[in-house]
Amino acid sequence: MMTGAEYIESLRSLKTEVYFMGKRVESVVDHPAMRPHINSAAVTYDVATNPETAHLGSAVSHLSGRTINRWTHIPQNQDDLVKKAMMLRVAGQITGTCFQRCVGMDGFITTYSTTYEMDQKYGTDYHERFKRFLIATQDKDFMTDGAMTDPKGDRSKSPSQQHDPDLFVRVVEQRPDGIVIRGAKLHQTGAINSHQILVMPGQGLQPHEKEYAVICAVPAAAPGVVFVFGRQVNDSRKWEGEIDQGNATYGTVGGEAMIIFEDVFVPHERVFMNGETEFAAMLVDRFASYHRQNYGACKSGNLDVLVGATAALADIHGVAKAGHVRDKLTEMAHLVETMYSGALACSFNCTHLGCGTAFVDQTLANVSKFNTARYYPEVTRLAQDIAGGFIATLPSEKELENPRVAKYIHKYYQTRPDVPALDRIRLGRLVENMTGATPIIECMHGAGSPQAQKVVLQRQIDWLKRIKLARRIAGVANAEAPK
């Protein structure tokens, strides 16, 4: 396994084609807009190698028997799923933001079970191919971008009905030695600092849409792979200073990018689905469940940091003992623990798939993500309420070096003689960073919007069983509910 420092150094040898602000980026490691996100991803390596957290961040591969990073592991039992959730909360507490490696991890888990079932039905060798690829990934400890979200075009139309067939990644050529893919994936967290990309379909497909049914692995620096790094609110602060960023070490959310596949060749040994349309929906459904498990854990870890920053500011402001402040802080903590309990519950209440992989409880995983999308904004609202309005009007950190006004900033932003004004400013910027638009949007739509969870819950809940329970207890003569 690599350490975080070794991971960062490994990125220097990648010759990826990355663009930002109209220019090609020569080194993602050294670019101020990207380095914080890279530091955050490096935490996934340190959690696995640090003796204090290695029991959560590492695992024993069921394929090789070697100790590996848990972010490349296929969960075999309840303990694996529980430790996955616990690991995510710890990483969230360390970074206070997204650490980017979860989509690739969940892509591994779902591709593993999907290839097994395709082989069972068709006698293909996708599963063996994928196992060889996964072992190599585990041994090299590569970070993998799980690429699932297509541009989609007109949402009312299927991939084959779009005005442009490239709005969903598709196979444009079948060769004796592999395939050629074309299209794009959007909103790709951690893409520019991944070693490789696992391309997956993003929705169910019709039988005639075989060219869109593709799972394959592509090196990040493969010819024809182009990255366009996205902008975030206030991202120019990354190259303007340190304090104003709020979270200068680890950044805001995950540094998302567009990935363009410009007729990229993929050899057969890296192809794990090629036309099996009936398995696309199953893959997406399973992936969504594993990924929604994560949100109750990683976001609770992030919000542990926000609760701490808010409590610290309340103390600095002299209101920590006020009854309404204590009540709001307690409410924040309650909501955070409720989110985390969902991640643990769906992990404990697991089952096993045919390939032996432990599978989270789908209903509880979706409840966990739905609660997270609902409670995260409320926790941020309470943080802003308690922290106060000074966060929205703080002067630039450059004024701290302005000889004309610096002494006044230190003078008038100080609340108590024993607490420097700079402490208050730093904590205020952290709260601003964690409660802004970008984190809330990512929490809302990452792993699917709340409506997606409602759709799954409507399908998963046994409504008839509940009606029968009520009719029996109420003494309704016919306990069988009408259809």
Residue 256 appears among annotated catalytic residues: yes
Residues 6+ apart with CB under 8 A from 4: 39, 42, 43, 44, 45, 46, 49
- Point out the catalytic residue in the list 209, 291, 350, 363: 291
Helix axes of 280-317 and 362-387: crossing angle, nearest 10 degrees: 30
Q: How many CB atoms lie within 10 A of CB 451?
A: 9
- Find, among 258, 260, 255, 259, the residue nearest to 232 by Cα: 255
Residue indicated by tokens 């609760």: 307
**Rg for the chain, CA atoms, rounded:** 24
Residue 102 appears among annotated catalytic residues: yes
Distance (Å, rounded) from C-alpha 167 to C-alpha 176?
26
Q: Using an 8 Å Cβ cutoff, are 224 and 262 in contact?
A: yes
Which amino acid makes up residue 301? G
- Point out the catalytic residue in the list 31, 72, 97, 298: 298
- Point out the catalytic residue in the list 45, 102, 115, 372: 102
- Point out the catalytic residue in the list 16, 53, 95, 98: 98
Q: E strands, 288-375, where?
A: 351-352, 358-359
The bridge status of strand 256-267 relative to strand 178-189 is antiparallel
Strand partners for 19? 24, 228
- Point out the catalytic residue in the list 117, 209, 211, 256: 256
Helix axes of 35-49 and 4-11: crossing angle, nearest 10 degrees: 140
- Point out the catalytic residue in the list 117, 211, 432, 442: 442
CB-count exposure of residue 32 (10 Å: 0-12, 13-18, 19+) = middle
Residue 291 appears among annotated catalytic residues: yes
Helix axes of 421-435 and 362-387: crossing angle, nearest 10 degrees: 140
- Point out the catalytic residue in the list 53, 111, 144, 189: 189
Tell me phi and psi for residue 20, to 5 degrees: -155, 135
Report the SS3 class of residue 216: strand
Residue 334 appears among annotated catalytic residues: no
Residues 6+ apart with CB under 8 A from 447: 288, 291, 292, 294, 295, 369
Residue 98 appears among annotated catalytic residues: yes
Distance (Å, rounded) from C-alpha 22 to C-alpha 231?
12
Residue 189 appears among annotated catalytic residues: yes
- Point out the catalytic residue in the list 295, 375, 376, 413: 295
Report the SS3 class of residue 162: coil
Q: Which helix (H) or strand (E) holds 119?
A: helix 102-122
Q: Which residues are catalytic?
A: 98, 102, 189, 256, 291, 295, 298, 442
